[in-house]
Amino acid sequence: MKPFLTLDESSIDPTLEAPSREGYSLRQAARAVVSDEAGAIALLHVTRDSYYKLPGGGIDAGEDPLQALERELLEEIGCRATITHDLGTVLEQRYYQEMTQISHCYIANLIGEKGQPDYTDEEREAGFEIVWAKDIHAAVVLLESSVETAADDIDITFMRMRDVAITKRALTFLTQ
């Protein structure tokens, strides 16, 4: 499937030229725009670095994207969800890490009650907390609000650009 978005460091600095990507590692991930019955959108607020991100993460060996997403949603937002739309993929070429990342992106609806996350020690140290944005428009605003933090951290810049694009794409599906 062709990505709906391709990001690389020239997306941040247009004067950069793409190096050869030979030998880059490949990381696959699954992410979702998850809404509850009232239309609120689940985000993770990383309080230490003051940014917001969509729930999701890496696909482990033996998992497919949907299995990974189910696991990540339980770990990060403490919830189960049902997939309503496949948004496609985002391709990230992170030159500074010599890595290609493919994020499989979805829209999902919460199933049952909101639960408690099971954060890793690293996530707890980063100050992860669940935030339910009022609606998808408010989610975009929160994701975009990470601009000042992102200016100093290329990883956060990639996440913000990716997650804003995913959420805006979800918005187009939801308003058709």
- Look up the CATH number of the domain holding residue 126: 3.90.79.10
The residue that leads in pLDDT, 100 or 12, is 100
Q: Is residue 7 part of a domain?
A: no
Predicted confidence at residue 148, as pLDDT, reads: 62
How confident is residue 153, by pLDDT bands cut at 50, 70 and 90? confident
Q: Is residue 111 part of a domain?
A: yes
pTM: 0.93
How confident is residue 102, by pLDDT bands cut at 50, 70 and 90? very high
Radius of gyration of the chain (CA): 16
Q: Is residue 46 part of a domain?
A: yes
Q: Is residue 63 part of a domain?
A: yes
Q: Is residue 5 part of a domain?
A: no
CA 28 to chain centre: 12
Number of domains in the chain: 1
pLDDT exceeds 90 at position 65: yes
Residue 73 burial class via C-beta count within 10 angstroms: exposed 0-12, middle 13-18, buried 19 and up: buried
Q: Is residue 3 part of a domain?
A: no
Q: Where are the alpha helices (DSSP H) in the chain?
A: 9-12, 65-77, 121-125, 136-144, 147-150, 154-174
CA 103 to chain centre: 8
Predicted confidence at residue 75, as pLDDT, reads: 96
Q: What is the mean pLDDT of the chain?
A: 92
Instruction: Give the tens place of pLDDT for each residue, 131-152.
Output: 999 999 999 999 998 666 555 7
Task: Give the HSE-up count for residue 102: Cα atoms under 13 Å, Cβ half-sphere.
Answer: 13
Domain that holds residue 96: 30-174
Q: Is residue 20 part of a domain?
A: no
Task: Give the HSE-up count for residue 28: Cα atoms under 13 Å, Cβ half-sphere.
Answer: 15
Q: Is residue 106 part of a domain?
A: yes
Instruction: Give the tens place of pLDDT for each residue, 76-92.
Output: 999 999 999 999 999 99
Which helix (H) or strand (E) segment holds residue 84: the answer is: strand 80-94
